[in-house]
Amino acid sequence: MYNESSDFLYHEKEVNSFYDLFNSCGISLSPQMIVLDVGAGLGMHAAYLAQKFSEVYCADIINYSTLYDRALIKLLEEKYRRNNLSVPMERIRFFETDATNLFFENDFFDLSISINSLEHISDPHQALAEMLRVTKPGGYIYISFDPIWTADSGSHFFHLVPQPWEHLLLNKEQFIAKMVCSGASNDDVKDFSEGINRFRLSQYENIIEELLRNRKAILEYKDRYVGTIEPDHMYHPNYERAISIDFGRLELLVRRLRFILSKPSHSFNRKAIFWHHSHLFRNKIHQIIAEILVRRDIARLELIRLRNRKQF
């Protein structure tokens, strides 16, 4: 059941995680920044972003500003007040635009972010290219999304089909049939059919690698979150079944991808190229270390799973 207060706390936590990560990376965020929020929905993240930044552009493929008899802003203000949140609404603007074809001009935003949206965009490579295009040289792109399609709840409809990784084992029609039996609406069925891109972990990482290789972006930070929404999911038979049909343990257990990119300056002179390659080398080392840590976590989870299995 929807709880408005919990929803606000959830979105506040996500924005605070974004702030904390930039602080830990030593990246300063100016209050004068103009921010783009891709996949902004009804502006829940924007409420917290607008408290810090001068302008927040909420971009989504749905024109939310026309909903509720065009009274969205008024309703949002009331919603914010109910939850003791003071939001400068004059800083928030809503735009209907496709993430893969943003209508904003080149080099316009200081910071572009997307939280829990990239897995819903049909062409995440093009979406990232567009975010880079509209971000100023020297600006930043922040991406965080959870769950990835191959995670235990990657269907996004675990509340209707609560068997982990079931969406990977059934075809679309079979999974929809289970959703409908559990009370799924027509909108739910449409969202499952059309609203998830079904990209695997390696596909996302290949996209990032290509951007770096082609000097379109500099990787400032990247991490993965390993885990399942319930500890006992690793003991579920679907885990081994998914592995048997060529899903890797790593992609089944990585739930979230999060990264910060920066947009290089227009010119790449020798010094810039040197620093670019130095940056790539440094990030490669960080990725290797992160990979070791992720695989250590997976090995630990596997060991716990095997020990518990022996007890039974």
The yes-or-no verdict on residue 71 having pLDDT over 90 is no
| Mean pLDDT over each residue of the chain, to the nearest integer | 89
- Kindly list the strands in the beta sheet with 135-145, ordered across the sheet, starting from the edge strand earlier in the chain: 92-96, 55-60, 34-38, 109-115, 135-145, 254-262, 218-226
pLDDT given for residue 100 in this prediction: 97
Size of the chain in residues: 312
Q: Among 43-47, 248-252, 304-308, where is mean pLDDT lowest?
A: 304-308
pLDDT given for residue 79 in this prediction: 86
pLDDT given for residue 238 in this prediction: 97
The amino acid that residue 294 corresponds to is V
Q: What is the mean pLDDT of residues 69-88?
A: 83
pLDDT given for residue 274 in this prediction: 56
The yes-or-no verdict on residue 312 having pLDDT over 50 is no
Q: What is the mean pLDDT of residues 272-284?
A: 57
Which among 74, 41, 78 is positioned nearest to 56, based on CA atoms? Answer: 41
Phi, psi for 182 (deg, rounded to 5): -95, 10
Kind and range of the H or E element at 305? helix 270-311
Query: What residue segments make up the domains of the chain, in order of their start?
Result: 4-151+199-311, 155-195
Say whether 155 sits in a helix, a strand or coil: coil
Q: Which residues contact 258 (CB under 8 A, 6 or more apart)?
A: 21, 143, 144, 145, 221, 222, 223, 224, 225
Q: Indicate the pLDDT class of residue 117, thresholds 50, 70 and 90.
A: very high
Q: Indicate the pLDDT class of residue 42, thresholds 50, 70 and 90.
A: confident
Query: From the CB of residue 115, how many other CB atoms can be counted at a distance below 10 Å?
Result: 23
Q: What CATH number does the domain located at 4-151+199-311 have?
A: 3.40.50.150
DSSP 22: H
The yes-or-no verdict on residue 78 having pLDDT over 60 is yes
Paired tokens of 14: 């996500």
* 3-class SS letters over 88-149: CHHHEEEEECCCCCCCCCCCCEEEEEEECCHHHCCCHHHHHHHHHHHEEEEEEEEEEECCCC
